[in-house]
A and B are shown apart, each in its own frame.
Chain A
Amino acid sequence: MAKYLTQRIIYMVVTLFLIASFTFFLMKIIPGTPFSNADKLSDTQLSIMIDKYGLDDPVPVQYANYMMNLLKGDLGVSFQFNNVGVTDIIIKSLGPSATLGGLAILFGTFFGVILGVVAALKQNTWVDYTSTFIAVLGKSIPSFVFAGLLQYYIGVKLGWFPVAFWRGPEYMVLPTIALAMFPLATASRFVRTEMIEVMESDYITLAKAKGASWFEIAFKHALRNALIPVITVLGPLVVSLMTGSLVIEKIFGIPGIGEQFVKSIQVNDYPVIMGTTLLFAGLFVLVILIVDLLYGVIDPRIRLAGGKK
């Protein structure tokens, strides 16, 4: 296990190193200067700035510096805001994104599990078909379409919740629903499949035989076992939420990383794009690693296979 873990972490570092190097050389190819007000600066000021950020050094030296700065968590300077560090921008916008993502995954999996359990217990009835229908819609309709429709019909036409911005709990409702649809659909499908399988197993028959109530069987015996594999899909779901939140934040005007990212794309603010890209890559790799480890913890067969390597 320890060997497997070290091996995985080494690959993780290699991947991140490759992405970071690639982004660095791309930034060198792109024309432009990191100083948005370069015209107003005098030559001396400019040369001081260039010297400060080491832009007159040979490229290999710059590369080494860039990598060293990365290790320290310094991602460079933004183009669109005068000399604001990318790291500061990212840290500032991390809060809303994390809140939104956390809410969406909680809300999505919770209702997904309920929907899945109900569908499995009432297999092949209208309840099951409705739940399947909701799941297909949730999986198929792109989150930005869903967000737009929610905003128009619930926000504008009915006026139940604020249409945009991020100023309090009531502002979180619509974006959370829009973002939660995909995890909800995925979780409900997964739980349904697992529940149906578990409900046919011997220990459920035993529980029925000893006279356990319907509620006890469903929630105490069956759901616990059905939930185990669901934990393993949480990882990919978190990854998909990272992409999903980009558009949701853009649509609802939430000052999170995604919104910042989309804005930076529109104004070609390369350092922010790159910094966020690296952050996404880092999170992505980390989530994948955690998921793989979880697989091993939950399913002993996989742990053995990993251990033998």
Chain B
Amino acid sequence: MEQEKIAKEMFSPAQLDSAKSEEISKPSLNYWQDAWLRVKKNKGAIVSLVIIAILTIMALVGPHLTGHTYEEQNLQHNNLPPRIPVLENVSWLPFDGNLTRKNGDVYNAYEQKNVEEYYWFGTDSLGRDLFTRLWKGTQVSLYIAFLAAAIDMIIGVIYGAISGFVGGRTDNIMQRVIEILSGIPNLVVVILMTILLDPGILSITLALTITGWITMARVIRAQVLKLKNQEYVLAARTLGLSNGKIISKHLVPNLAGVIIINTMFTIPSAIFFEAFLSFIGLGLQPPDASLGTLIDEGFKVLQLYPYQMIIPATVISLIMICFNMVADGLRDALDPKMRD
């Protein structure tokens, strides 16, 4: 490195202004503003958020776009590959309605079957419109995401907070209950539910309600145990605040970061869980569509009509990747200590 010689005359003493030395040059940021700044820097998380938003809009709007309902069957139009107007003329996109036979011949399934209509994502073996079914299935996944988050935030947080805050015998009993519940695998609960009720969205919902909140309750309890002995809680108590007020005004805001991080990590595993159950036949039953059942149905005809599996598989992978990326981003932003 080259050092530049600076003449002595060029230096002048800095003015020390005692009034300005305490001045804060940057605007002060609270926890959330600071966290938001850090999330904004994480491009992966922001892109993922946008994709989740788009998928959510499509899940709500998509089923009404094509004019077909998700259970409407048209056997004359079965197993048609995806064909989209305009895009069908772009040769490298798989939206031209062509299929490949096992011996390598390429033929246009639409011309062969004399179908004028466009099925954007094709049809399944019963001639149901896959575009509509796909977004119907996405709705289920997003419902599960929402449900898992709600269970975590409501049951998990309240259970953990009470257990940690009240302590003593209550805590002891509540922890024993958790210990027993956590010994029961999720899968077992679902199977018991499907035997009691019929397999479907209700039994998955119940199974998630029974087991989904346990990790959150444990984390929250540990945090509450730590926080409740802090001075500001003592101060609040001295000033005569009720326990409920202390929990809602002082503990919950301090727990917010942990709650959000945990919820975000619960969501992808819950989405996977539903898709997994539907895939093995314990989840939604036909004609209802979930991404898991669509993949299962597509899987059976994978060699002949690969699009039937690849499209829902892409969507569920996209959902999972996005939620995982957002969760990672939020963890980095909200809890610098847990950063990896």
**Known contacts A142-B317, A266-B281: does B303 contact A152 (CB below 8 Å)?**
yes
Say how far A232's CB is from chain B's closest CB, in angstroms. 15
How far, in angstroms, from A247 to B296 measured CA to CA in the complex?
Answer: 10
Residue A221, interface by CB 8 Å: no
Q: Are the C-beta atoms of A284 and B183 separated by less than 8 Å?
A: yes
How far, in angstroms, from A3 to B340 measured CA to CA in the complex?
Answer: 36
Q: Are the C-beta atoms of A151 and B276 separated by less than 8 Å?
A: no
Interface code A15-48, partner B: CB below 8 Å = 1, 0 otherwise?
1101100110010011000000000000000000
Q: Are the C-beta atoms of B302 and A280 separated by less than 8 Å?
A: no
Q: Are the C-beta atoms of A148 and B340 separated by less than 8 Å?
A: no
Residue B52, interface by CB 8 Å: no
Interface residue range, chain B? 35 or more
Q: Are the C-beta atoms of B180 and A11 separated by less than 8 Å?
A: yes
How far, in angstroms, from A136 to B302 measured CA to CA in the complex?
Answer: 25
How far, in angstroms, from A156 to B191 measured CA to CA in the complex?
Answer: 34
How far, in angstroms, from A191 to B151 measured CA to CA in the complex?
Answer: 32
Residue A14, interface by CB 8 Å: yes
Q: Are the C-beta atoms of A19 and B188 separated by less than 8 Å?
A: yes
| Residues of A with C-beta under 8 A to B186 | 243
Interface code A256-273, partner B: CB below 8 Å = 1, 0 otherwise?
000000100110001001
Contact partner of A273 among B185, B191, B295, B324, CB < 8 A? B191
Residue B120, interface by CB 8 Å: no
B169-186 contacts to A, CB under 8 A, are: 176, 179-180, 182-186
Residue B306, interface by CB 8 Å: yes
Q: Are the C-beta atoms of B276 and A12 separated by less than 8 Å?
A: no
**Known contacts A148-B302, A151-B302: does B183 contact A12 (CB below 8 Å)?**
yes
B152-179 contacts to A, CB under 8 A, are: 176, 179
Residue A59, interface by CB 8 Å: no
How far, in angstroms, from A274 to B188 measured CA to CA in the complex?
Answer: 9
| Residues of B with C-beta under 8 A to A247 | 276, 279-280
How far, in angstroms, from A294 to B257 measured CA to CA in the complex?
Answer: 29
Q: Indicate the member of A142, A149, A239, A262 with the most B CB atoms within 10 Å.
A: A142
Q: Are the C-beta atoms of A284 and B316 separated by less than 8 Å?
A: no
| Residues of B with C-beta under 8 A to A246 | 187, 280
**Known contacts A19-B188, A284-B185: does B179 contact A148 (CB below 8 Å)?**
no
Main secondary structure of the interface of B (DSSP, over half): helix
Q: How many A-B residue pairs have CB under 8 A?
A: 111
Q: How many residues of A are in contact with the other chain, CB < 8 A? A: 46
Contact partner of B320 among A12, A140, A151, A262, CB < 8 A? A140
**Known contacts A26-B196, A243-B276: does B188 contact A281 (CB below 8 Å)?**
yes
B281-322 contacts to A, CB under 8 A, are: 281-282, 295, 299, 302-303, 306, 309-310, 313, 316-317, 320-321
Residue A106, interface by CB 8 Å: no
| Residues of B with C-beta under 8 A to A139 | 324
B241-283 contacts to A, CB under 8 A, are: 268, 272, 275-276, 279-282
How far, in angstroms, from A233 to B196 measured CA to CA in the complex?
Answer: 34
Contact partner of A288 among B183, B280, B310, B340, CB < 8 A? B183
| Residues of B with C-beta under 8 A to A266 | 281
Say how far A250's CB is from chain B's closest CB, in angstroms. 6
Say how far A266's CB is from chain B's closest CB, in angstroms. 6
| Residues of B with C-beta under 8 A to A149 | 310, 313
Sample of 13 A–B contacts (CB below 8 Å): A16-B183, A18-B180, A140-B317, A141-B321, A142-B272, A144-B275, A148-B299, A193-B340, A243-B187, A277-B188, A280-B188, A281-B185, A284-B183
Give the top 4 A-B pairs by smallest Cβ distance, nearest first: A15-B183, A140-B320, A193-B340, A140-B321
Other contacts beyond A15-B184, A247-B279: 19, CB < 8 A: A11-B180, A136-B328, A137-B317, A139-B324, A144-B275, A144-B276, A144-B279, A145-B317, A148-B309, A242-B185, A243-B276, A246-B187, A247-B280, A251-B299, A262-B281, A266-B281, A273-B191, A273-B195, A277-B191
**A residues within 8 Å of B by Cβ?**
11-12, 14-16, 18-19, 22-23, 26, 29-30, 136-137, 139-142, 144-145, 148-149, 151-152, 156, 189, 192-193, 239, 242-243, 246-247, 250-251, 262, 265-266, 270, 273, 277, 280-281, 284-285, 288
**B residues within 8 Å of A by Cβ?**
176, 179-180, 182-188, 191-192, 195-196, 268, 272, 275-276, 279-282, 295, 299, 302-303, 306, 309-310, 313, 316-317, 320-321, 323-325, 328, 340
